[in-house]
Amino acid sequence: MTTVTPNIYAAGTSSASTPPVPRCTYDQLEVATTWGTGDLAGTYGVPILIVNIGHRSCFLEGYTKLLFDTPTKHTITIERGPSGAYAYVKPRRVDIKPGGIATFGVTIGEAANQSNTHVAACTVHDVYTDLPVSGFRENYENNIEFNICFAAYQVGITAIEPGPLPKPD
């Protein structure tokens, strides 16, 4: 005796399944710095764009890591969440289609400690972005120059969100 199981589909569906969208890889993304918010009483925001240059959709989720090119020996604190330049964005999965853009915001306050006169030792020349990608990882270089001493060794960051720009605060 042979048992036959019928294929039953809901209206508007088919038996073909779409493959899941994978996490982005390093080689399918490019990162660019733009200047957006201007000076907001000693605080300014730097939007970072993440462009999918690949041929398939992918996703990113959560926060990126930042690394700083600076001669200072101080620890730099990265605060996640609202920052004065950008609104709070709940960390979530962001699908990026080919040619699509995701973004996150970096907030720098330059009014916290302007008494420090060691400008050369306090200058950040580049900020490197370490995205939460799968497989091989390398940092993306962003040319952002600012005085980390004036910022009291703190930088704000938002979660990755759909682009083109982070939501203003």
User: Would residue 69 count as lying in a domain?
Assistant: yes
Q: What's the confidence (pLDDT) of residue 126?
A: 87
User: Would residue 20 count as lying in a domain?
Assistant: no
Q: What's the confidence (pLDDT) of residue 110?
A: 73
Q: What's the confidence (pLDDT) of residue 104?
A: 95
Strand bridging mode 154-157 / 140-142: unpaired
User: Would residue 118 count as lying in a domain?
Assistant: yes
Domain count for the chain, please give it: 1
Q: What's the confidence (pLDDT) of residue 8?
A: 39
Spatial contact of 66 and 128, defined as CB atoms under 8 Å apart = yes
Q: What's the confidence (pLDDT) of residue 6?
A: 39
Burial per residue of 28-59, b for 16 or more beta-carbon CB atoms within 10 angstroms, e otherwise: bbebebeebbeeeeebbbbbbbbbbebeebbb
User: Would residue 38 count as lying in a domain?
Assistant: yes
Q: What's the confidence (pLDDT) of residue 105?
A: 93
User: Would residue 9 count as lying in a domain?
Assistant: no
CA dist 85 to 10, 43, 55, 111, Å? Answer: 47, 7, 33, 14
User: Would residue 4 count as lying in a domain?
Assistant: no
Q: What is the CATH number of the domain that holds 74?
A: 2.60.40
Q: What's the confidence (pLDDT) of residue 38?
A: 58
User: Would residue 16 count as lying in a domain?
Assistant: no
Domain that holds residue 66: 26-162
pLDDT in tens, the chain (169 residues): 444 443 333 444 444 567 799 999 999 999 999 875 555 567 788 999 999 999 999 999 999 999 988 887 788 889 998 777 889 999 999 999 999 999 999 988 876 666 666 667 788 888 999 999 999 888 998 888 888 888 888 899 999 999 999 988 8
User: Would residue 7 count as lying in a domain?
Assistant: no
Q: What's the confidence (pLDDT) of residue 114?
A: 62
First vs last C-alpha separation in the chain? 68
